[in-house]
């Protein structure tokens, strides 16, 4: 049995980066860059007007003749005398001879000329070429997550494809003779199988749309055979159930017989203690507890960061949140507790129904409150640490 | 010109709920329930053993004969005498005659009998029928967001389909003669069009995968005609650019001529002031500023909560975050500022490059720091409010 922190370290140390691929920027949301991106252009590519107004060369003059017009999208590099100005619009090209734009609200204009009522400072309202980024400058370092803003920025530089880390192929292997598929009739002694659909949904939150679900009966031969095929084809294997010490828990034995390297088994935590983590080649194997709430807890604490690590995230753990505790917590287990909790802007409430079987509590929780194994008690009003989920 | 708070209120008051549809629970991640869900079964459906061990009737006896076995998935409602126990595994059916399970670590067992070394309390390690939820109890109220845990819980009750609010159909109309599609050659005076791809990505974060992008030249006739078709077919219309007061900004006029009801125009904020919001029938129209960072700011502040409202979220605004400011902020604009910022567990840093054109800052930000219009100054070390993005 190892500590939570050790389990996190071991998983991190064994999570290799996925191979990379070229992807259309348009489809790249949620992927992570595998390359440094260099700007192919200056942005803006030319001196741009920031306002609707008039472009001219700054001087002591207040009156200028209007000799042309520059709309957004135009390129008319008109020659301007020191007595001349052009009508200009937001985003439009500023002629080389002009250095300043006066906003239209600050002039009196007729068809042919303007009188500037409030003279702007020299260079006002002109966005310099390359202000946002210069050609050949670094746009993004490798391992940048592609958010809507990052995707927009790449597009604004004319970049249409980038090299990213592939998403891992994930298999979910469900064990348990007691399980019946939802939609079928529930027989006596059986329960509905819900872990695969829950884990599929959890994987979707990190952009893995098509996890493949396998099911196997609780016996060593079937489990071993199923795993043999799965271990060859997938980058991450999640196994649901069959990993505690009951006489009918064959998963660990089936993994070892398939030459999976055991990296740890059992973590000093509640819920979620009976978990096995191993690897074979670059494939990571997480044998998660069968109880739904334990399974989902360990998905958030261990599996999600491992996936983020493999797909190139530079920050694989969510930023923790500190809140004031609404009640007191006792911990006489000597284990690290992960309690389903709900926090608002100032406080956190530990929810009723912390049993490892209870998913309903999880469904209304927005965080896991972490009580370290060496903490015997948190008092009401104390600041505690949460992992948002 | 209206205040930020007024704009938020007006949008909320005009955002009607979408129609509903039946959806497979397996595909329901991110949807919101349009109905109250009642449990069709008791969960667990029978008394379950919480441990691997032995089930018996609690008494002063310490020795019991083993007369059977109950594995997970079995249903053997064996008759037990007061001197008898059965071998039982986690999740298995507990016979009606037994009331207590002793964990296997607490007994000395041979093939035929056990001696209980540490007697558990009566009813120990037996999960009562319906402990998690009873038949006909409420599973979820309407307007519950379907998270991985909620989906798992529904599946565990055998529920395969639920009624949810439909996602809105969204059109993005891009205006601007200065725009060239990424991948094409950049001509003088032009810039690459990036707002549509950015907004598409932003919509994907709320589960709207297929926004339709339209493009139109900067003239009233073309804009009016394009809008006529779009307004009939979509639930939400985002328009990019053409909404400030320049002579070539035709969007507002084209909207009004299409009988769009103006609900507000211009907000007292920076960036993002020139925004139009209107409605026609149940369709909401957001004409966003053309500058990318302004556009994305207003997407997060106004469009995203409106979408959440339409698809049934009970909480449409993200929980705000309070952090200690790393620098000082001056606000002599009289406007509400939305500053791209990055926060960690304790502090927040305002990022360099707040210009409304600058998406690169947005790409590394994880929040918008809100400086209300009536605040002239925030001092270093002061607590400030952030909207996580």
Domain B321-388 sits in CATH at 2.40.340.10
- The three-state secondary structure class of A352 is coil
Give the chain A residue nearest B92 (alpha carbons).
A189
> Phi and psi dihedrals of A250, rounded to 5?
-100, -5
Q: What is the pLDDT of residue B345?
A: 85
Sign of CA dihedral A50, A55, A60, A64: negative
- In this complex, the residue of B192, B248, B363 whose CB is nearest that of residue A149 is B363
Q: Looking at chain B, which residues constitute the CATH 2.40.340.10 domain(s)?
A: 321-388
**Pairwise CB contact (< 8 Å): B247 & A345:** no
CATH topology of domain B20-42+133-165: Molybdopterin biosynthesis moea protein, domain 2 (3.90.105)
- The three-state secondary structure class of B188 is coil
Q: Chain B: nearest CA to A260, how far in angstroms?
A: 26
The model's confidence at residue B218, banded by pLDDT at 50, 70 and 90, is: confident
Chain B neighbors of A158, CB-CB under 8 A: 182-184, 186, 192
Q: What is the pLDDT of residue A215?
A: 96
Q: What ipTM was assigned to the predicted interfaces of this complex?
A: 0.94
**Pairwise CB contact (< 8 Å): B198 & A152:** yes
Percent of chain B at pLDDT exceeding 90:
90
Chain B neighbors of A363, CB-CB under 8 A: 140, 144, 147, 149-150, 153
Please identify which residue in the block is written with the tokens 């998913």. A359
Please identify which residue in the block is written with the tokens 């589960």. B207
- In this complex, the residue of B131, B155, B365 whose CB is nearest that of residue A192 is B155
Choose the weakest-confidence range: A39-43, A315-319, B241-245, B364-368: B241-245
The CATH number of A20-42+131-165, from 3.40.50.720, 3.40.190.10, 3.90.105.10, 3.30.70.1140, is: 3.90.105.10
Q: What is the pLDDT of residue A249?
A: 79
Please identify which residue in the block is written with the tokens 């917590």. A329
Parts of chain A with a pLDDT under 70? 247, 357
Q: What is the pLDDT of residue A247?
A: 66
Q: Chain A: nearest CA to B368, how far in angstroms?
A: 13
Mean pLDDT, residues B278-291: 96
Q: Looking at chain B, which residues constitute the CATH 2.170.190.11 domain(s)?
A: 48-127
Q: Chain B: nearest CA to A18, how far in angstroms?
A: 23
Kindly tell me the burial class for residue B79, based on how many C-beta atoms sit within 10 Å of its own C-beta (0-12, 13-18, 19 or more): exposed
- The three-state secondary structure class of B197 is helix
- In this complex, the residue of A149, A248, A360 whose CB is nearest that of residue B359 is A149
CATH topology of domain A4-18+167-310: Molybdenum Cofactor Biosythetic Enzyme; Chain A (3.40.980)
Q: Looking at chain A, which residues constitute the CATH 3.40.980.10 domain(s)?
A: 4-18+167-310
Of the candidates A213, A216, A265, the one whose C-alpha atom is nearest the C-alpha of residue A243 is A265
The backbone region for A94, taken as left when phi is positive above 0, alpha when psi lies in -120 to 50, beta otherwise, is beta
> Phi and psi dihedrals of A225, rounded to 5?
-65, -45
What is the pLDDT of chain B when averaged over all its residues?
95
The 10s digit of each residue's pLDDT in B149-191 is 999 999 999 999 999 999 999 999 999 999 999 999 999 999 9
DSSP letter for B320, please: P
Confidence check: pLDDT of B247 > 80? no
- Two structure tokens written together for A371: 């009580």
CATH topology of domain A48-127: Molybdopterin biosynthesis moeA protein; domain 3 (2.170.190)
Angle at CA A58, nearest 5°, toward A98 and A74? 20
Q: Chain B: nearest CA to A203, how far in angstroms?
A: 9
Please identify which residue in the block is written with the tokens 């010109």. B1
- In this complex, the residue of B52, B148, B344 whose CB is nearest that of residue A201 is B148
- In this complex, the residue of A156, A176, A202 whose CB is nearest that of residue B72 is A176
Q: Looking at chain B, which residues constitute the CATH 3.90.105.10 domain(s)?
A: 20-42+133-165
- The three-state secondary structure class of B308 is helix
Q: Looking at chain A, which residues constitute the CATH 3.90.105.10 domain(s)?
A: 20-42+131-165
**Pairwise CB contact (< 8 Å): B29 & A201:** yes
B interface test, pick of A50, A149, A182, A388 with most B CB neighbours within 10 Å: A149
- In this complex, the residue of A29, A176, A182 whose CB is nearest that of residue B204 is A29
The 10s digit of each residue's pLDDT in B75-123 is 989 999 999 999 999 899 999 999 999 999 999 999 999 999 999 999 9
B interface test, pick of A360, A362, A383, A387 with most B CB neighbours within 10 Å: A360
**Pairwise CB contact (< 8 Å): A25 & B362:** no
The model's confidence at residue B255, banded by pLDDT at 50, 70 and 90, is: very high
**Pairwise CB contact (< 8 Å): A201 & B151:** yes
């Amino acid at each position: 049995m190892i500590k939570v922190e050790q389990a996190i370290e071991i998983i991190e140390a064994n999570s290799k980066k996925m191979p990379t691929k070229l992807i259309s920027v348009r489809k790249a949301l949620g992927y992570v860059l595998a390359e440094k991106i260099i700007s192919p252009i200056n942005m803006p590519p030319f001196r741009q007007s920031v306002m609707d107004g008039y472009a001219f060369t700054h001087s002591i003059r207040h009156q200028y003749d209007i000799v042309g017009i520059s709309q957004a999208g135009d390129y008319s590099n008109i020659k301007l005398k020191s007595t001349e100005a052009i009508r200009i619009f937001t985003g439009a090209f500023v002629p080389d001879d002009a250095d300043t734009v006066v906003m239209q609200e600050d002039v009196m204009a007729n068809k042919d000329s303007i009188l500037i009522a409030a003279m702007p400072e020299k260079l006002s309202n002109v966005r310099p070429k390359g202000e946002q980024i210069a050609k050949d400058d670094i746009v993004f370092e490798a391992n940048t997550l592609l958010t809507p803003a990052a995707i927009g920025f790449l597009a604004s530089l004319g970049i249409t494809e980038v090299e990213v880390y592939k998403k891992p192929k994930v298999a979910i292997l469900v064990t348990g003779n007691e399980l019946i598929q939802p939609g079928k009739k529930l027989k006596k002694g059986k329960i509905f199988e819900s872990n695969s659909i829950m884990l599929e949904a959890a994987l979707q939150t990190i952009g893995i749309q098509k996890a493949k679900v396998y099911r196997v009966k609780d016996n060593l031969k079937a489990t071993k055979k199923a795993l043999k095929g799965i271990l060859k084809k997938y980058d991450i294997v999640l196994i649901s159930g069959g990993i505690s010490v009951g006489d009918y828990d064959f998963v660990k034995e089936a993994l070892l017989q398939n030459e999976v390297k055991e990296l740890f088994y059992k973590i000093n935590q509640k819920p979620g203690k009976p978990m096995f983590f191993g690897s074979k080649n670059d494939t990571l194997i997480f044998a998660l507890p069968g109880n739904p709430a334990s399974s989902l807890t360990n998905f958030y604490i261990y599996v999600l960061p491992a996936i983020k690590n493999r797909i190139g995230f530079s920050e694989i753990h969510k930023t923790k949140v500190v809140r004031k505790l609404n009640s007191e917590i006792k911990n006489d287990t000597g284990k690290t507790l992960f309690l389903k909790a709900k926090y608002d802007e100032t406080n956190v409430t530990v929810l009723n129904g912390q049993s490892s079987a209870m998913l309903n509590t999880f469904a209304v929780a927005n965080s896991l409150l972490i009580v370290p194994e060496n903490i015997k008690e948190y008092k009401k009003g104390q600041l505690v640490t949460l992992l948002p989920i």
